[in-house]
Copies of this chain bind each other. A is one copy, B any other.
Amino acid sequence: MKIDPDNKADLSAQIAEAIRDAIVSGQLIVDERLPSEAELADHFAVSRPTVREALKRLAAQSLIRTQRGAFGGAFVNRLSYPEAYGQQITTATLLLSMNAISFDVACEARYALERACTPLATLRRTPDTLATMRAEIHRQGHPGLTDESFCASDVAFHRALVDSAGNPVLSYQLAGAVEAMQPLMNMITFTARSREAIVGFHTRIADALSSSDAEAAQTALTELEAYTLTLGRDVMAARAPK
């Protein structure tokens, strides 16, 4: 069931992989209890610290959870949407920050994905998601808002747009793309004029969703993308020349 050849990789990595395979292949099902650390150590013929390192690796990926005490132990964890969101966001954020992704590329990806949602969103938008979008638009019009708060509200607006599509898999996928952009967006200084323009686009998008006009929503999103791109390029241009 779980064996362990004598290759040269870390034992804890090998053991973690063996258990991970057992989980993804369905040999271990959700909420099933793994053998105790002592039993695993015996099974794999290693020491308990080595087993523990393997289990911590799995815990870091939310594949298992541990419980102390009698009849405690490590249990196969049901990967919930919030956990998956979280991993998705941290991975996407690191990928962008560590690989010198240009503003243009990130922006293009984000809006392409959002446009993928709009046809569904026009069909399925609920009063709830529309209200969220309207509320964020209203907040964005407040003059005293810091740039960072404006950005956060922008993210909230776009997440509501994505959630409007009513498809949890899409929401999960796009959470990373939208949130990972935030550090890049935070570098932008939003003038009163640019804020006004963005609020205008947001209003058009919300109106289009209200009236189930998919084409208008697409157009507004595309124009917002172009506008965001000019804002970003201005920032990059101002930072680059040294």
Contacts and interface: CB of A to CB of B under 8 A. Distances in A.
Interface in A100-134: 101, 105-106, 108-109, 112-113, 115-117, 119-120
Interface residues of A, number: 56
Given A57-B59, A169-B177, A176-B173, A98 B79 contact: yes
Contacts of A176: 173
Given A49-B49, A60-B16, A79-B99, A168 B105 contact: yes
A172 interface: yes
A153 to B, nearest CB: 22
A186 interface: no
Given A57-B60, A79-B94, A84-B91, A109 B24 contact: no
A230 interface: no
B84 A95 contact: yes
Contacts of A14: none
Which of A59, A87, A98, A176 counts the most B-chain CB atoms under 10 A from its CB?
Answer: A98
A136 B49 CA distance: 47
Given A106-B169, A108-B169, A112-B119, 19 more contacts: A16-B60, A49-B52, A56-B57, A56-B60, A63-B94, A78-B98, A78-B99, A79-B91, A79-B95, A79-B99, A84-B91, A88-B91, A105-B168, A109-B173, A112-B116, A112-B117, A112-B170, A169-B177, A173-B173
Lowest 4 CB-CB distances: which A-B pairs, in order? A116-B116, A109-B169, A57-B60, A60-B60
